[in-house]
Amino acid sequence: MSDTKSGYEIRANLLVQAQDLIERNIDRKVNQVMDYNHNNQETPKTVPARQVKAADVIGIAKELYAFVEEK
């Protein structure tokens, strides 16, 4: 059996990686704000929304794909 992946499989994997990257970055930002708010209760910051937009995922995936295409 071949280990070669189709273009569709590569792009699907890149979309998953891009979404995971965005979600981890959002989690870090939320945790930073929550830690800040815990220590600065008089001047709390607004906790960012945990929203992943399709356009953001596609944009990051395109960046990753551009790296894959480099020779």
Contact 6, 49 (CB under 8 A): no
**Cα separation, 17 vs 45, whole angstroms:** 29
**Cα separation, 18 vs 13, whole angstroms:** 9
Let me know if residue 26 belongs to a domain: yes
What is the count of structural domains for the chain? 1
Nearest to 8 by CA among 61, 71, 63, 67: 61
Let me know if residue 2 belongs to a domain: no
Let me know if residue 42 belongs to a domain: yes
For position 68, what pLDDT does the model report? 82
For position 30, what pLDDT does the model report? 96
What would the pLDDT profile of 1-57 be if each residue is shown by its tens digit? 567 888 899 999 999 999 999 999 999 999 999 999 999 999 999 999 989 999 999
For position 7, what pLDDT does the model report? 84
Q: Which residues contact 22 (CB under 8 A, 6 or more apart)?
A: 52, 56, 57, 60
- Determine the structural domain holding residue 11 and report its residue range: 7-69
